[in-house]
Amino acid sequence: MRHYIGLIHKDADSDFGVSFPDFPGVVTAGTNLDDARAMAEEALTLHIEGLAEDGEAIPEPSTLEQVMSDPDNRSGVAILVSVKNAPPKIVRVNVTLSGDILERIDKFAEAHGYTRSGFLTHAAKKLMELEAA
């Protein structure tokens, strides 16, 4: 099980917000601290699963020292957030494709909201599921 640092923020008239320095833009909130922690685990797990499905790299967890060295992070209270099902390690590979196929893959992927890696991952999984059935 992996652990990432979440930062809890609380304004006077707000719920307990949680942000993740290793995943800018991923935020969640809870009405109390227990709720905020549970929501943080769920949000982080779903985000990492999405990255894995899209074939995107998943960052290694930063240390507390690294997180707190950024002055913008010092207004939050640091907590450890567990990722329930750590995705498999992402491996960079080099493949050879003809230029016209690569161009078609890239156009299709962009038109459907995929990265190239995400599209190839999705297509490979789909074909393997069909062959296994």
Domain count, the chain: 2
Question: Residue 113, Cβ neighbours under 10 Å: how many?
Answer: 9
Tens of pLDDT, residue by residue over 93-127, are 899 999 999 999 999 988 988 888 888 988 888 89
- pLDDT at residue 56 in the model: 83
What average pLDDT does this structure show over 64-90?
87
Q: Please indicate whether residue 11 or residue 104 has the higher confidence score (pLDDT).
A: 104
Domain match, 14 and 64 both: yes
- C-alpha 53/C-alpha 87 separation (Å) is 9
- List residues bridging with 18 in a β-sheet: 8, 28
Long-range CB pairs of 93-97, under 8 A, 24+ apart, other chains included: none
Tens of pLDDT, residue by residue over 17-68, are 999 999 999 999 999 999 999 999 999 998 998 888 787 888 999 999 999 9
117 is in which domain, residue-wise? 99-132
CATH code (residue 49): 3.30.160.250
- C-alpha 34/C-alpha 123 separation (Å) is 39
